[in-house]
Structure 1
Amino acid sequence: MWATSKASRREVFGWAMFDFANQAYTLLIITVIYGDLFTTVIVGDMGDDYRLANLLWSSALAISYLAVVASAPVCGAVMDYAAAKKRFLFISYVTTVAATAALYLVEPGYIIIGFVLIAISNYAYSMGEAFIAGFLPDIADSREMGRVSGMGWSLGYIGGLCATLFTVLVLGEVSEENFERIRWVGPFAAAFFLLCAIPTFLWLRERGSPRPLPAGQGYVGLGFSRVRQTLSSLGQLSEMAVFMVSLLLAMSGLVIVISYAFIYGSQVIGWDDHVRMIMFITTQISAALGAIVFGLIQDNVGAKRTYMFTLLIWIVAIIFIWGTPGITAWLNNLLGVDWQAQYVFLVAGCCAGLALGSCQSAGRTLVGIFAPDGRAAEFFGFWGLATKLAGAFGLIAVGAFQALFGLQGAILICAVLFAAAFLVGLRVDEKRGREQRHTLVE
């Protein structure tokens, strides 16, 4: 199941272990624990129902994503030319570990240092996400990418489940009273990432060899030159260009959900700690199953159809999330029961979980399918650009909307973004995109 026509079982497993390892960061720091800790304890309620805290959280993440937008495409071009993908991946990995471990130093009221460390750690994590994706065309051909990408996402959610269960059970709840224990979430996430990514650097091979630079040019200058060339040549890759627009819209919504899901549960739904744990477990299981099942489906029905179907799931899930309080009241009146909104919210979480990994996996696969041979890292740099530009846009938008209308109303922007992504995605022709990839082969 792990072996492909291009790589051994051990190498593919080593590649997937980076997804397993880095989920400790995205789940513990961005989604489940530290986002809630930063907004409710480090910054706290300033008498504005956490609106300033939420805006600061959005701003820190948006800044990190804008930094990725500025650097990922150039890094991708340099990595392809210098055959240095593994070195860039290692630098991002070490930086993420160091900045995440340093979050232990952030105490209530230390807003600036917390803001800076979140921006640095999320920047390094996001760069690593793009770098590891650049290896996908090296280890799988176009017919195998869906399966391999899906297994990577699925293994990632298993890793996140292991890391977060340990954190919740051992470190306890997010509260000011429990701060001395829960502050260890940063060092634990860093250690988990540090240790579990070791197989990646032992078994994943760097393919290709460095090419001599043109006279008078350095790698950075060459990187900018190749990016400009790619931008000017996108007319030959129209399907990639249209898909990137759709992906930007979809990832805008997705980044909002990832960054605010558990903050929403705490501030809008008002869930208990045990319900938060149930939500985490159910969404992780449904996300892992969705990633691997849809990954297998991709290879049979096509990555584009899979991607489009996940967008429809997301539209339904967001409307369900927004309407949870009203749906709960309606069901209670209709059925004569006394259900709590926090339990109805769990159903919405399962629905979102099914599309969480599968949407990202299908998007990553389509980029790999459309990327020209020999230019994979560069175009995965553009994938990183699209997703992180989307993240910055989405977080700035939801930060502004929640400051004006509150978090519940602001979450509806996600449904609009997913619907727009679906409409743009209708124009993508996967077959033609596969043919166009040969027009920019070096």
Structure 2
Amino acid sequence: MTSTNKISHLAEGVSRREVWSWAMFDFANSGYTTVVITAIFNAYFVSVVAQNQDWGTFAWTASLAVSYLLIILTAPALGAYADAYASKKRLLLVTTIGCILFTALLYLAGPGDLWLAIALIILTNFFFGSGENLIAAFLPELARSRALGKVSGWGWSLGYIGGLFSLGCSLAYVTWAQGQGQEAHEFVPVTMLITAAIFAVACVPTFLFLKERAQPQPHLAGPHVVKEAFIRLGGTLKHVRYYQDLVRFLVCLIFYQAGIQAVIALAAIYAQQAMGFDTSDTIMLILLVNITAALGAFVFGNIQDKLGHIPTIALTLIGWIVMILLAWKADGPVMFWIAANIAGLCLGASQSAGRALVGLFSPATRRAEFFGLWGLAVKVSSILGPITYGLVTWLSAGDHRLAMLITGSYFLVGLLILMRVDVQRGEAAAQNQPDS
């Protein structure tokens, strides 16, 4: 027996180095979500690009919504194509290059460059989200079924460390630039170049060491690639009732992820608009939240396989509800910092547990396709949550507290639906899939 086989939580023939290279993609791409979507560019978009207009927050959330809609339209077919042609890694390379390139081009978005910023955000987020689905589809190939939560937690926790690294580098530059008397429109664009460069360097191990274990499946040749992708997707939809627990969990995920995606996309905006934080305060807040998120992903990743996927997710949703109430009531920085760090702990845990549960419910021959459906659900929630928040702030003339409270109700709905998901039944359905 080789040393690799003695690693009980890894699948046969999978080395520690390969799992590390897979997790390094989470490290690499987390800088994008942390710096661009969560901490710096979102607040910059509202305050500088949109020049603090009442519709600025809605314009930001609408831009994200368009990118997620594009992913919704393409993700299932992209996953089906990846399964048929065993091409997850090749497609991952394409989406990675696209995200890095357009993130670097955000450097060009300055005061009043609204349509340029909107176009670039749509493109960067589209490529990011498409790649996120593809890298997740490798998980069931790397971990044994009873250790999906543990290995998924490794990826998420390393991802938050990557977000910390990118944000820390950005903070160092911002601090220096502010010391030189520079304004946000001068130093924020440079942080986009920093983020793109870190993404490009950190993802190299993934493409060097991660293996494509899937085998090409019988498929149509020539110009019928797209047609076949939708034929395969149709096969999945035809049997959708058979995977009732997967479907039920995806509906649950749409609701609770709507709340999570609103927090991710609007945390810095809320901090600056409702709590009066400046850029440096906001970056420090997100830095600390990433530490607690990494801790949450690692700790819950190690216990969720014993505690159970459903109890783990339920516990984090209760935490999210508490966080929303604290943020809504916060009248000073102390309570808001407490709320933000509760969000961090719940963020890492809920993201890791959700990905692991989808892996458990996925048939072996349709992993990329089913993770495409997972990505679709997340992207629907990424439209629903932020758009709800943006509309409330627009219609209420900038009441961010009301928007936070209303968006937080999605966690309660998700918790109620979660109670009807049966893990054993869902796993059995995946292991005894019907013929296509």
2 CA distance for matches of 1:39 and 1:232? 44
**Percent pairwise identity:** 39
Q: Residue 126 of structure 1: which of 109, 125, 129 is its match? A: 129
Equivalent residue number for residue 438 of structure 1: 431
Q: In terms of mean alpha carbon deviation, does 211-220 or 294-303 score higher?
A: 211-220
Contact kept, 8 Å, 2:266 with 2:386, in 1: the verdict is: no
1:282, distance to aligned residue in structure 2 (A): 2.0
Is 1:245 the counterpart of 2:248? The answer is: no
Q: How does 1:279-290 map to 2 (within 5 A)?
A: 279-290=285-296
Is 1:191 the counterpart of 2:184? The answer is: no
Letter in 2 for 1:324: A
Equivalent residue number for residue 331 of structure 1: none
Contact kept, 8 Å, 1:74 with 1:223, in 2: the verdict is: yes
1:179, distance to aligned residue in structure 2 (A): 2.1
Q: How does 1:237-316 map to 2 (within 5 A)?
A: 237-316=243-322
Is 1:145 the counterpart of 2:148? The answer is: yes
Structure 2: gaps of 5 or more residues: 1-6
Contact kept, 8 Å, 1:252 with 1:394, in 2: the verdict is: yes
Is 1:376 the counterpart of 2:373? The answer is: no
Distance 1:133 1:2, change over 3 A: farther
| 1:207-259 deviation digits (Å, cap 9, x = unpaired) | 12223424787221111111112112111111001000000001111110000
Contact kept, 8 Å, 2:83 with 2:217, in 1: the verdict is: no
Q: How does 1:218-229 map to 2 (within 5 A)?
A: 218-229=224-235
SS of equivalent to 2:215: coil
Q: In terms of mean alpha carbon deviation, does 227-236 or 287-296 score higher?
A: 227-236
1 CA distance for matches of 2:257 and 2:427? 23
2 CA distance for matches of 1:414 and 1:55? 14
RMSD over aligned CA atoms reads 1.7
1:176, distance to aligned residue in structure 2 (A): 7.9
Equivalent residue number for residue 109 of structure 1: 112
Q: How does 1:322-401 map to 2 (within 5 A)?
A: 322-325=328-331, 341-401=332-392
Equivalent residue number for residue 337 of structure 1: none
- TM-score with structure 2 setting the length: 0.94
Is 1:84 the counterpart of 2:84? The answer is: no
1:441, distance to aligned residue in structure 2 (A): 6.0
Equivalent residue number for residue 163 of structure 1: 166
Equivalent residue number for residue 415 of structure 1: 408
Q: Residue 103 of structure 2: which of 100, 103, 111 is its match? A: 100
SS of equivalent to 1:220: helix
1 CA distance for matches of 2:84 and 2:434? 13
1:187, distance to aligned residue in structure 2 (A): 1.1
Equivalent residue number for residue 35 of structure 1: 42
1 CA distance for matches of 2:123 and 2:222? 33
Q: Residue 17 of structure 2: which of 10, 29, 44 is its match? A: 10
| 1:66-121 deviation digits (Å, cap 9, x = unpaired) | 11110001100110010000011001000000000001111111100000000100
Q: In terms of mean alpha carbon deviation, does 225-234 or 271-280 score higher?
A: 271-280
Distance 1:410 1:151, change over 3 A: same
Distance 1:171 1:278, change over 3 A: closer
- TM-score with structure 1 setting the length: 0.92
Contact kept, 8 Å, 1:246 with 1:424, in 2: the verdict is: yes
Equivalent residue number for residue 318 of structure 1: 324
Letter in 2 for 1:9: R
1 CA distance for matches of 2:151 and 2:85? 26
2 CA distance for matches of 1:297 and 1:237? 26
Q: In terms of mean alpha carbon deviation, does 160-169 or 111-120 score higher?
A: 160-169
Aligned residues: 423
1 CA distance for matches of 2:285 and 2:20? 28
Contact kept, 8 Å, 1:2 with 1:13, in 2: the verdict is: no
Letter in 1 for 2:261: V
2 CA distance for matches of 1:311 and 1:40? 31
Distance 1:104 1:214, change over 3 A: closer
2 CA distance for matches of 1:272 and 1:126? 29
Q: Residue 75 of structure 1: which of 51, 74, 78 is its match? A: 78
1:272, distance to aligned residue in structure 2 (A): 4.2
Runs of 4+ residues over 3 Å off in structure 1: 172-176, 214-217, 272-275
